[in-house]
Structure 1
């Protein structure tokens, strides 16, 4: 396996594309397979082509692309790759229509976004600016392509390895890791990241109960307990279960912070809670901040700790046992980011 690093100035940055290019014995590959594809920008396309050339390949050599999820920084170049190589593109069934460029699915995702912006209490001027930002960056999703959908548990035979699809919704509805039991490693996309915590609530507004869904995905990764995870951004994670447990703890603490804000200030909108949690936001984070606040407020409301009245949430229980609102991860390891 080889890794190609791609720049990304719009989203989290430092995207990884993984090249599965040969059997463990060093022989010639039966096929050339990529995990993820990078964002659809000319310079990033050039970086991918250059990275492949450094490994002795051309874009036309690619046989398949396995996508961890539909976000543009992971799937944007899939259409261009398919146009140049005829590669088969695979995405989870929940995300496949968006990757394929299905107009009805794209319009519905945009409709849900706009509805959520109002539910979150986002001011009109900010909402209009965010809509313009998203429209201006719509091309990052790249060209439509033919997509073969897969489901949780499906297996991909790639040269001498078997990759099992492990569905991990939360950050995205179709987010999937590809787990190689023989090598005890998984390609996890944005399910867990080494430096940041993946956004929940704003990154994919199609996800029902986003925080609860994501916490269940963290527990799945803890149970998987692979030796290594290859994330969609930055560097290898050597204790994926420990990192998942650390992110689980982070969300418990963030929920406590949300409760504290409601105790101190009374009923608040997700937009107002976001300002307490994150301060002033810019660019794509204007979507992510209130989405994250909404995910935590929604979790409190589902547990009966808070109630929603219009766009505002108020506490029903002013002193909840926040830890009890989350399932026990079963481990207590802490894996924090220590890189540059």
Structure 2
């Protein structure tokens, strides 16, 4: 397996694509549709002794442009099928209805979160100004949890891990250390993947993501290959650390409401993260919303009133019950 490092000047964090050589040369993730990343990918394939035309399968961990943007043009040149989870297939395929539905949810959430006029205009311009990063339309082959895809000299097992994105999936395989996986942005070695803003289609985003973290702990992969930065040698441990981070953030959200009174998602976000710009104007209140939404479902916070404000009902909940941190097997 060859890791191909890709630049990323639009979104944070350098990306990874992975080449599985062998009887069925397979690429995992494709990078964002920019000239510099296109060059990085082709040079990486060439260094491994392959060209785009040699690819016989392309596998995408999720729909975000920095993972799927070049898939369409790679498919056009290679004829390779492109596999992605069914929940993300419509957006990757460029289906107008799927894209319109995602945009409708985005506009509704922005209103519910009470993003002020100036940052709203900034984030809308940022998102609309980068539509081309999604690249060409793709003829998608949808997959589901548990499916197996022939890749390289073996196969990849689909492991659905929604939260950061509705269709986000890891792809498990037998590696040098035992069972390993390409995990996309399910877990990352440095940052915590955004939940709540990265894919507005996800219902109960925090609970959904916590369930995926618990599954990663239970699977106890020997090593994970993420969509950004370096390999993770203890994926279960990293999943546990991220779950602990969300428990601590839940405590902070409760503290904000306790100290400052009822507040909308934008105001809670400002207390948590301060001033935001560009894509973070989406991710900040999205993260706040994910936690507020979870607290509403657990009866700790009242559902937002007509002004989008959440009111604290219980200032001293059991945070270990609200956000359970799974035990590792090691």
TM range (shorter): over 0.9
What pairs up with 1:123-134 in 2 under 5 angstroms?
123-134=116-127
Equivalent residue, structure 2, for 1:273: 268
Cα distance in 1, alignment partners of residues 131 and 38 from structure 2: 17
Distance 1:92 1:241 in 2: 23
Aligned to 2:252: 257
Unaligned residue ranges in structure 2 (runs of 5+):
none
In the other structure, the counterpart of 1:2 is: 2
1:34 counterpart SS class: strand
RMSD over aligned CA atoms reads: 1.2
| 1:195 aligned partner | 190
Alignment of 1:104-123 (within 5 A): 104-123=97-116
**Selected match of 1:286 from 281, 286, 292:** 281
The partner residue of 1:162 within 155, 162, 165 is 155
Shift, 1:124, TM fit: 2.0
Give the TM-score, by structure 2 length: 0.97
- Tell me by how many angstroms 1:109 deviates: 0.4
- Structure 2: how far apart are the matches of 1:297 and 1:103? 31
Q: Do the aligned residues in 1 keep the contact of 2:218 with 2:328 (CA within 8 Å)?
A: no
For the Cα contact (< 8 Å) 1:20–1:33, is it kept in 2?
yes
Structure 2 contact 123–277 (Cα < 8 Å) conserved: no
Gap regions ≥5 residues in structure 1: 22-28, 334-340
Q: Greater CA deviation, 109-118 or 318-327? A: 318-327
Q: Name 2:240's counterpart in structure 1.
A: 245
Distance in 1 (CA, whole Å) between partners of 2:152 and 2:126 is 41
Q: Distance in 2 between matches of 1:9 and 1:288?
A: 18
The offset of 1:330, in angstroms, is 1.9
* Displacement of 1:328: 4.2
Task: Measure how far apart 1:181 and its partner are.
Answer: 4.3
Moved >4 Å (runs of 4+): none
The 5 A counterparts of 1:1-340 are: 1-21=1-21, 29-181=22-174, 183-307=178-302, 308-310=304-306, 311-331=308-328
Q: How many residues align?
A: 326
- Cα distance in 2, alignment partners of residues 31 and 181 from structure 1: 16
What is the rounded CA distance, in whole Å, between the counterparts of 1:70 and 1:216 in structure 2?
A: 20
Query: Are the counterparts in 2 of residues 12 and 233 from structure 1 also a CA contact under 8 Å?
Result: no
